[in-house]
Structure 1
Amino acid sequence: MGDERRLRAVVELAQAMAAAQALPDVALAAAAGAREALGGAFAALSVLDAERGRLRVLVNEGALAEGEEAFPADESYPVGDFPEIAGEPRARVESLAEGASSDPRAEAQRRRGRACRVVAPAVLRGRVWGELQVARGPGEPEFTARDADFAAVLAAVVAAGLAQHERLAEARRLAFTDALTGLANRRAVDIRLDEAVERHRSTGAVVSLVVCDINGLKRVNDTYGHAAGDRLLERFGAVLALCAASVPGALAGRLGGDEFCLLADGTGLADVERAARDLCRRAGELDVGSGVACGIASTAEAVGPVSSARRLFRLADAAQYRAKAAGSREPVVAGRGGAGGEAVALADAPGAPGGDRRGLRGRARPAPGEEATPR
Structure 2
Amino acid sequence: MRKVVARADPHGHECPDPGGRPSGGPEGGRTSGGRPDDGGGGTKGGGHNGGGNGAATPPPGGRDAARRLHAVMELAKALATAHTLMDVVRISARQARAAMDAALASVSIWERDSGHLRVLVNDGDLADGEEALPHAETYAVTDFPEIIAPATWPTAWSNTVDERDSAHERVVALRRRGRHGCMVAPIMVEGRVWGELYLARHAEQPRFDAVDAEFAAVLAAQISAGLAQAEHYQRIEKLAFTDPLTGLANRRAIDARLDAAITRHYREGVVVSLIVCDVNGLKRLNDERGHDVGDRLLERFADQLSACSAMLPGSMAARLGGDEFCVLIEGFTPDEVVAVAEELCRRALRMHDGEGVACGVASTGDPVGPVTSADRLFRLADAAQYRAKGSRAIHPVVAGRGQPPDPTVSLAVDDDAVLPADSAPAGPPHRDRRRFRGALHNAEPGRLLAAVLGALDERVPGRVHRADTLGRLEIVADTFARMLDGVSWWISYVPPQGHSLRTVRYSIHRMTGSPGAARARYEAGTAEYDLSAYPAAAEAVQGGGFVQEVGDAGNDPAEEDLLLVGGYKAMVVAGGTNAAGGWLVEVFTDELSLSAQGLAPVLRALVAVALTGGASLPE
Same topology, TM > 0.5: yes
Q: Please say if 1:46 is aligned against 2:46.
A: no
Aligned-partner residue type, residue 189 of structure 2: L
Deviation per CA, 1:237-289, whole angstroms, max 9, x where unpaired? 01111111222221111001110011123444344333222211211211221
Q: Please say if 1:259 is aligned against 2:324.
A: yes
Between Structure 1 and Structure 2, the one with more helix by share is: 1
- CA RMSD in angstroms comes to 3.1
Partner of 1:364: none
1:223 to 259, 263, 288: 288
Gaps of 5+ in 2: 1-60, 419-424, 431-619
Measured at CA, do residues 121 and 284 of structure 1 come closer, stay the same or move farther in structure 2, by a change above 3 Å? same
Matches within 5 A, 1:247-326: 247-326=312-391
Instruction: Supply the distance in 2 between the matched residues of 1:250 and 1:136 (Cα, whole angstroms).
Output: 48
Question: 186-195 or 152-161, which moves further after superposition?
Answer: 186-195
Partner of 1:127: 192
Q: Does the CA contact (< 8 Å) of 2:189 and 2:225 recur in 1?
A: yes
Instruction: Supply the distance in 2 between the matched residues of 1:217 and 1:354 (Cα, whole angstroms).
Output: 32
2:118 to 37, 49, 57: 57
Aligned-partner residue type, residue 202 of structure 2: G
Partner of 2:138: 75
Q: Please say if 1:345 is aligned against 2:410.
A: yes
Deviation per CA, 1:68-91, whole angstroms, max 9, x where unpaired? 453444723235843354223212
Q: Does the CA contact (< 8 Å) of 1:295 and 1:321 recur in 2?
A: yes
Deviation at 1:21, TM superposition (A): 4.1
Aligned-partner residue type, residue 75 of structure 1: T
* Larger RCO, structure (CA 8 Å, separation 6 or more): 2
Partner of 1:187: 252
Deviation at 1:42, TM superposition (A): 2.5
Measured at CA, do residues 160 and 213 of structure 1 come closer, stay the same or move farther in structure 2, by a change above 3 Å? same
Q: Does the CA contact (< 8 Å) of 2:159 and 2:183 recur in 1?
A: yes
Instruction: Supply the distance in 2 between the matched residues of 1:67 and 1:221 (Cα, whole angstroms).
Output: 61
Question: 55-64 or 310-319, which moves further after superposition?
Answer: 55-64
Question: 335-344 or 128-137, which moves further after superposition?
Answer: 335-344
1:112 to 177, 180, 185: 177
Instruction: Supply the distance in 2 between the matched residues of 1:339 and 1:29 (Cα, whole angstroms).
Output: 60
Q: Please say if 1:156 is aligned against 2:212.
A: no
Q: Does the CA contact (< 8 Å) of 1:199 and 1:205 recur in 2?
A: yes
Partner of 1:174: 239
Deviation at 1:317, TM superposition (A): 0.1
Aligned-partner residue type, residue 316 of structure 2: L
How many positions carry a matched residue from both structures?
A: 357
- Which SS does the other structure have where 1:337 is aligned? coil
Instruction: Supply the distance in 2 between the matched residues of 1:75 and 1:253 (Cα, whole angstroms).
Output: 36
Measured at CA, do residues 208 and 77 of structure 1 come closer, stay the same or move farther in structure 2, by a change above 3 Å? same
Deviation per CA, 1:342-374, whole angstroms, max 9, x where unpaired? 11110027xx45699x9899xxxxxxxxxxxxx
Q: Does the CA contact (< 8 Å) of 1:91 and 1:151 recur in 2?
A: yes
Instruction: Supply the distance in 1 between the matched residues of 2:209 and 2:318 (Cα, whole angstroms).
Output: 54
Deviation per CA, 1:73-123, whole angstroms, max 9, x where unpaired? 472323584335422321233213475555424433432333211111112
Instruction: Supply the distance in 1 between the matched residues of 2:272 and 2:264 (Cα, whole angstroms).
Output: 9
- Which SS does the other structure have where 1:114 is aligned? coil
Deviation at 1:182, TM superposition (A): 0.6
Deviation per CA, 1:33-77, whole angstroms, max 9, x where unpaired? 32233233332222344566x452241413444444534447232
Aligned-partner residue type, residue 31 of structure 1: A
Instruction: Supply the distance in 2 between the matched residues of 1:8 and 1:25 (Cα, whole angstroms).
Output: 21
TM-score, normalised to structure 2, is: 0.52
Measured at CA, do residues 226 and 84 of structure 1 come closer, stay the same or move farther in structure 2, by a change above 3 Å? closer
- Which SS does the other structure have where 2:219 is aligned? helix
Q: Does the CA contact (< 8 Å) of 2:109 and 2:120 recur in 1?
A: no
Measured at CA, do residues 259 and 211 of structure 1 come closer, stay the same or move farther in structure 2, by a change above 3 Å? same
Aligned-partner residue type, residue 56 of structure 1: L
Partner of 2:158: 93
- Which SS does the other structure have where 1:40 is aligned? coil
Q: Does the CA contact (< 8 Å) of 2:116 and 2:141 recur in 1?
A: yes
Give aligned-pair identity as a percent. Answer: 50
Instruction: Supply the distance in 2 between the matched residues of 1:166 and 1:50 (Cα, whole angstroms).
Output: 17
Instruction: Supply the distance in 2 between the matched residues of 1:151 and 1:208 (Cα, whole angstroms).
Output: 53
